[in-house]
Amino acid sequence: MEFNWTIQLFAGLPERFGASRISFAAEEQQMTAAQLKQLLADQYKEHADLLLISFVACNQTYASDDSIVRASDELALLPPVSGGEPADSEPNRSSNPYVITDQAIDSNEVLAKVITADHGAALAFVGTTREWTHGKRTVRLEYEAYEPMAVKMMASIGEELAERWPGTLCAITHRIGAVGIAETSVVIAVSSPHRESCYEASRYAIERLKQIVPIWKKEIWEDGSEWKGHQLGPWKPNTPLEGF
């Protein structure tokens, strides 16, 4: 008996494979995440290097190499992240603290979600598209997200902040699609009872977003383009963030 496996692809992977997912039949009903990656690397040798450094997501959670994954699971292959829930319509951005959107972001709207009478400090980090990077002129950025997992990981950042800095509130809105020069791609709002905690929690949230949230950016230049992945060293979303 054979079992049907389907793995969703994100960022530069669909371009390499010419499809948004890989499907195959195998006698195994389950295997480790490492075995799954090796199987794909053996089958698609021209993409082996990228496949082997990618992470497997199982049911919208990062799977370590020794985790068991099954053919019946929701599986995705995630190349190193850049950062950076599907809905029938635009989510209620006025109340939802964690939002993925293809619309322009109002930083004041995001900040308002964390303002409370009990807190004496609030910060909003606003990430925008810069025109020049390492001597190359960027025309625009294009963002892609594994949306349900991205929202789930954003919420986990909020939980981490509340645990590390009790009382801290967090709201994150990230844009997907094309983002032009000087336009906002992400807003991370944080509030705390005191400013010291607010500063620390804000920086932690920004770095953690880059580490664990499955959002990717494609830099479009005047003479080409490139998917940008995790740029903080080896990508280890299952490990604590260093320096905090």
Write the pLDDT tens digit of every residue in 76-132: 999 987 764 333 334 455 579 999 999 999 999 999 999 999 999 999 999 999 998
Same domain, 118 and 213: yes
Q: Are residues 224 and 105 in the same domain?
A: yes
Answer whether residue 92 is part of any domain. no
pLDDT of residue 87: 37
DSSP notation for the chain: --EEEEEEE-TTHHHHHTSSEEEEEES-SEEEHHHHHHHHHHH-GGGHHHHHHSEEEETTEEE-TT-EEETTS-EEEEPPP------SS---TTT-SEEEESSPP-HHHHHHTT--TT-SEEEEEEEE--SEETTEEEEEEEEEE-HHHHHHHHHHHHHHHHHHSTT-EEEEEEE-EEEETT-EEEEEEEEESSHHHHHHHHHHHHHHHHHHS-EEEEEEETTEEEEE---SSS--TTSPPTT-
Do both 25 and 137 map to the same domain?
A: no
Least confident of 30-34, 114-118, 233-237: 233-237
Question: 204 and 102, same structural domain?
Answer: yes
Mean pLDDT of 196-217: 95
Does residue 148 sit within a domain? yes
Question: 136 and 48, same structural domain?
Answer: no
- The whole domain housing 28 covers 3-78
Is residue 131 domain-shared with residue 40, that is, in the same domain? Answer: no
pLDDT value at residue 75 = 98
Q: Is the pTM higher than 0.75?
A: yes
Question: Is the model's pLDDT at 170 over the cut of 50?
Answer: yes
Look at the chain and report how many structural domains it folds into: 2
